[in-house]
Structure 1
Amino acid sequence: MAASAKSLVDQSSNEVKDYICNACEDQNNAETSADFYCKQCERFYCGNCIDPHGKALAKHTAFGRVDIDKWPVSKKVVDFLLTCYEHKDNKVDKFCTTHSQLCCPQCVFNYHRYVNSLQWFC
């Protein structure tokens, strides 16, 4: 997974808006939607930034939006999906086999502490 991948996730909704150009982000430019993903760099590029990248790194493979299924899931999206629905400051890291439920540490304490069936979430 790309460590520098970034996606806008509105905290008040479950909508993932888009990927952001890492080159523009590095230059502190306004957040620009990414149109390409470079597999070797593990970075996202907008239409303006992909040209210099392609000239400098011609052997790299860049995937456009038509190949978005080859893009990685961004770290921001993964973090969003692993955040406890009830306790927003906690990450789910356990699974209760009795309740077939993912749990964060607070959920374990509140609802599952007397259950001996907690397992680590992988």
Structure 2
Amino acid sequence: MASNVEFSIQRGCDFIHDFACSPCEEDGLNTEAQHFCSQCTKHYCNNCVTKHNGLYKRHTVLDRKDVKKWAATPGTVDVLAGCERHPGESLKLVCGDHDQLCCHLCAAVDHSYVAI
């Protein structure tokens, strides 16, 4: 019974993690990464890192104590930094009323903002 609950939590969970496990994410699961491989540039949970380490014994794998050395998944920073409504504009403001990031064009039209 406990394994079914755990699977349901991983499958349907809407937790937002700092880093999601790359292989789990590809399988539609939402699992927090505990490790990062600098050669693969992928994040791994405890289960997936065991498989990774079996295949790639010479790769450098960092754990949570070295999280500042981890890299974001390629393209993540660009997606997060750009406005969806105004391509080419950066998200540099925070709307206090809506508690969301916005670009200067969105802020002028739709939001009361605070500079970040």
Task: Please indicate, yes or no, whether the TM-score normalized by the shorter chain is above 0.5.
Answer: yes
Render the CA deviation track for 1:47-78: whole Å, top value 9, x for unaligned. Answer: 11101110111100011111011111343233
Alignment match, 2:26:
26
Looking at secondary structure, tell me which structure has more strand per residue: 1
CA deviation after TM superposition for structure 1 residue 21, in Å: 0.5
Q: Structure 1, unaligned stretches of length 5 or more?
A: 1-15, 94-103, 108-122
- Structure 1 residues 1-122: aligned runs within 5 Å: 17-28=17-28, 30-74=29-73, 75-81=75-81, 83-84=82-83, 88-92=85-89
Render the CA deviation track for 1:30-62: whole Å, top value 9, x for unaligned. Answer: 210111110111111001110111011110001
Looking at secondary structure, tell me which structure has more helix per residue: 2
1:26 partner letter: E
Q: Find the residue that maps to 1:19 and give its secondary structure.
A: coil
Render the CA deviation track for 1:94-115: whole Å, top value 9, x for unaligned. Answer: xxxxxxxxxx8x95xxxxxxxx
- Provide the C-alpha distance between the structure 1 equivalents of 2:34 and 2:48, rounded to a whole number of angstroms: 10
The TM-score with structure 2 as length reference comes to 0.55
CA deviation after TM superposition for structure 1 residue 18, in Å: 1.4
1:24 partner letter: C
- Provide the C-alpha distance between the structure 2 equivalents of 1:88 and 1:64, rounded to a whole number of angstroms: 37
The percentage of counterpart residues that share the same residue type is 30
Q: CA RMSD in A?
A: 2.9
The TM-score with structure 1 as length reference comes to 0.53
Question: Which of the pair has the greater relative contact order for Cα pairs under 8 Å at 6+ separation?
Answer: 1
Q: Find the residue that maps to 1:18 and give its secondary structure.
A: coil
CA deviation after TM superposition for structure 1 residue 24, in Å: 0.8
2:80 partner letter: F
